[in-house]
Amino acid sequence: MNLGPHAEFIVAAYAVTAFVVAALIAWVALDYSAQRRVLDDLEERGVTRRSQRKE
């Protein structure tokens, strides 16, 4: 594949896009495991939400 005389612009565009998308995916994945960990910890300690309580 020949990207011609402006190859650096094409490569830079794909690199920036890949970096931003990867950063977004990593943030979502890390945030999910962090929330899950805290939630599991709270549930383990017997803390419940008001809506889960049976009066």
Partner 1 sequence: MPVTDLANPTRFLTLVNRVLPWLVAATCVLFAIGLIRAMSAPDDYQQGATVKIMYLHVPAAWLGMFGWGLMSIAALGTLVWRHPLADVAGKAAAPIGAAFTFICLVTGSLWGRPTWGTYWVWDARLTSMLVLLLLYLGVLALYWTAEEPGRGARAAAILSLVGAVNLPIIKFSVDWWNTLHQPASVFRMGGSTIAPALLTPLLIMALAFTLLFVTLHLAIMRNEILRRRVRSMRLVQAQELHA
Query: Is the distance from CB of 10 to CB of 3 less than 8 angstroms?
Result: yes
12 binds partner 1 (CB under 8 A): yes
Closer CB to partner 1, 4 or 55, in the complex = 4
Q: Torsion-angle region of residue 4: left (phi > 0), alpha (psi -120 to 50) or beta? A: left
Asked if 7 is part of the footprint of partner 1 (rule: CB under 8 A), the reply reads yes
**Cα 33–Cα 36–Cα 40 angle in degrees, nearest 5:** 140
- Tell me how far, at minimum, the Cβ of 4 lies from partner 1, in Å: 4
CB of 8 to partner 1, least distance (A): 9
Check binding of 1 to partner 1 (CB under 8 A): yes
